[in-house]
Structure 1
Amino acid sequence: MTQSSSFKSHTGAILIGEDGRILSALGIGSDPRIKAMVSDSEWIEQAREKRMFPVLLAEESYVGHIADVADGHLILLSVPPGENVLNFVMSVDFAYDIIDHVLTDPYDAMAVINDKAHLTYISPVHEKFFGLRPGEGIGRRVREVIENTRLHHVVKTGVAEVGQIQRMGSSERVVSRHPIRRDDKVVGAIGRVMFKGPQQVQAMARRINALEAQVEAFKKETQVSSKGEEFLDAIIGKSPAIQSLREQIRKIAPLDIPVLIQGESGTGKELVARALHMLSPRSDARLVTVNAAALPESLVESELFGYESGSFTGAAKKGKPGKFELANKGTIFLDEIGDMPLEVQSKLLRVLQDRMVERVGGDKPTHVDFRLCSATNRDLQSFIDQGKFRMDLYYRISPIVLTLPSLEERLEDIPLLANHFLREVAGQLNRPMPEVDYNVNEYLMERSWPGNIRQLRHVLERAFVFADEGRLTVTDFEAHAAEPGQDDSDTEFAFADNVPGGKLKDALDDLERRLVEDALSRFKGNKKKAAEFLGVSRSRLYKKMEN
């Protein structure tokens, strides 16, 4: 029909008599195409069965609703506000029944307000709950009708509130509130309430509380894991040996049993101990590190077990807790345990058996709760054979033994280690990361590393300091390498071999002077580089030069 546009309208109505004749038509209902549809008795029967149905014309689509009236049927037509409504009506034959269910569901109430926060609709179950007669709440401010509502906030802010708990009288309800927009403007809001009996809500609340407790426990576990992973990532490398080591640490860390870490000097035993602690349930408490080889034999016992006031000359007036007391609820890491005196080994064994420590000069044992990690670069079995280490103590400290690979066993990790150490040194010296020549890694991988990772870092740090700014070459390593037969890891002690005897101050002054002279010689008189190498300011270097 060429004149269809003359009937164009957004709404329409058609009144049909019992005999099927059209008695009246308004708006789009006057369109001959629609009149032809409604004149078909079969179409009318299908429409009555659905009650809500689509009406599709070439230039516009409508949603229709049919209702029985006296002596006939009334059809109302309107253009839907968007494709979603039309698609819903087109796809679902019982669309009307679904809408009716939503509006009358006894367990899911609904309230609708306009942009002035006045109620325009409230479902029957809502009216019954608030003691309202049908339609009594319409037109009133929502806050006057619904206790503790926030619908007026939602229509004002345009921000939805989903899954909120709202108290209504003596009950708590789960509520969702959504702004309704038309043409990007908030025109109202809809609130939906899950209506269940108080017992069901309380059961839900208990379940929510239990879940929240589980979530908190999971968050704590995740935080422990993430903190531990940071320390695990500090064990640099992708070689099979390192990947296996990291996997062993993950498995062992949660187990509250002693661990003995074996490995050559400079292989990173303390890093492993820290990772074990941070991945363990004790990570919130302290990790107390003790280097048994660095403690004077006369002080080992007081350092480990503490002392009471006046127990020996020079003791603190209030006494002092030992390392085991400080490690209570946490982890104690005994590094170089193979160098511990036999007498102290006996007392350590007693602490491990009884979990009690007694301070030097005291007579009251204190209970301690700790996890023990030990480390050594010694052959403890050989020490046991020589009578230098107790066999019963060995079995106490070594239910699990971790053996760390030497750098010689993981040469493929050198490029990653070198990059990591160079970045660290660059940050410490406040200098840019240098460009590394292609053959530097190959050069480093071909060298011998008796001092392991510690030696590698020392060599890289020294080459970085001497290198021309911006580039690191093999020459920078070769020019300042150790003398033939001398281990790089020992070069930092070379001066100590020639320090003269006599007063300590004189010896220190002489050593300091020679360090300054060596630094200036290495950098061909460049005072800035010499000061950076020595870790002092240039003004301090000038004073040392004057002296």
Structure 2
Amino acid sequence: MSETHDPARAGLLVIDDNGNFRFQDGLGARADVQERLKGLRGQLRTRRLFGVELDGVRYTVLGWRGADATLFLIHRGKREDTLLDFIGSVDFAYSILNHLVSSPYEGMTVVDHEAKVRFISPVHEGFFRLGTGEAAGKPVTEVIENTRLHEILRTGKAEIGRVQEMRGVTRVVSRIPIVEGGVVVGAIGQVMFKAPEQLQQLSLEVNRLRDEIAQYKRELTGLRTRSTGIEQIIGTSDAIRQLKADIAKVAPLDVPVLLIGESGTGKELVANAIHSLSARHGRPMVMVNSAALPASLAESELFGYEPGAFTGAERKGRKGKFESAHKSTLFLDEVGDMPLDLQVKLLRILQDGVFERVGGEQQRFSDFRLVSATNRDLGQMIQSEKFRLDLYYRISPVTLRLPPLRERLEDIPAIVQGFLAGLSSRNRNNVRFVDDKVYGYLQSLKWPGNVRQLLHEVERAAIFSDGTTIRVEDFRPSALPGMPSVAIPAPSAPPELAAAPGAAPGQAADMRSAVGTVEESLIRDALKRNDGNKKRAAEELGISRSYLYKRLRAIEAQG
């Protein structure tokens, strides 16, 4: 006899409201069982599952109370059946089991050994937009995207805490095989969530945390590899050591800094070092060359403009330099060459960070740190009313003086060696060594173009060198100021050359014309070699960009 029809293992009993036994089968035909179950009818209002003991054996009883009768199903479980212990120990066991399959907080899918859906909890049906029981009998792969329940049936191995994408939402799921008698008879898939919208919010939070972790990793990598900029300022002289110490003190203070130094002393390098050591290093420094600002476009470049502010303006408008420098550093180079009318317009934004775009009325705010630089004598310019005193006070709470090369000649060997190492890697140049006599030769020169001019001359010598070592004869004296030939004028040279003592007026004019012609030729050649890049051309010529712009305007004026 099968277990289903074994009267010692199962039974059925129906009792009407009058207490009469209308149907009995198996264990339900025993008088002691009938009296025991008759007494349980009153508990069916709060409980449907019971654990009872008959002849020393535990049984599970499931009861339903209908309109005019009560039905009891009796089943004997195995001795090690945990479910019987659960039902017998917990009065509200039925409510718990009902919660597991119908709770709005947990989604459950049950498949049989053929991977066909047998049950999907109501909240899960709602998530997949299915009607009640609509998925029953269908292959689970047709109902749930990216499911692996069919693989669980094949392998018999559980998967706990796996990520699954369903309807564009990331879920964490568990997939568990159900085994009877050593055979996988089905599988259960579960996902924890309160509602699809809240699960989606959880997914967004997980993605946010992933992005945040990735950002921390990038910042950590940046901290390990980030250059402070100070190491690029080469030298061990007292002047350079003091400059580096001042930079380290000033950089974290977030106050405006004015850099004063001759052309070629490395003001942009120092500005980068200040920015890199400040709390604003996470955003790129914004640079403005005051001497290169066209007079007609200076305001729009600095403050930006609104759509349609002027003919040729971009449709969406454009941010200016100050707005782009928000939460970063603004490097205002060649500030001494800024026109007076523009100096006035800078005062307000330098005071409180408030400005308006060209063509706009809305006040905007930019939180930037200002670093200015000039090779001009601002004190003399203030006296001659070419630079505003109030602007000077705004830009110079802290002033750093960059020493010229002639004040730190002992740094020349280190500067040359560091430059050659970089030059070799960039240009695949074989020159790596310097003859000892070269350093003495270089230290004997005046270097009006400072470090920029020094690097320019070393690069030229490396080009003309026939071996791996630079020698004195590899330098071209005609390119060095102070040699008996035409020299490149220094930025502070007057626009007109005075006549030499004892020279006739006509001879002086011929000299000025000759020098001007040679100078124009050098400038045009440098621009051609650098594809019109004025910054690189000025560096190659050993002159300041402001002087280069001045000479270009003079050349254009001459036609």
Instruction: Calculate the TM-score normalised by the size of structure 2.
Output: 0.48
Q: Which has the larger radius of gyration?
A: 2
Instruction: Calculate the TM-score normalised by the size of structure 1.
Output: 0.49
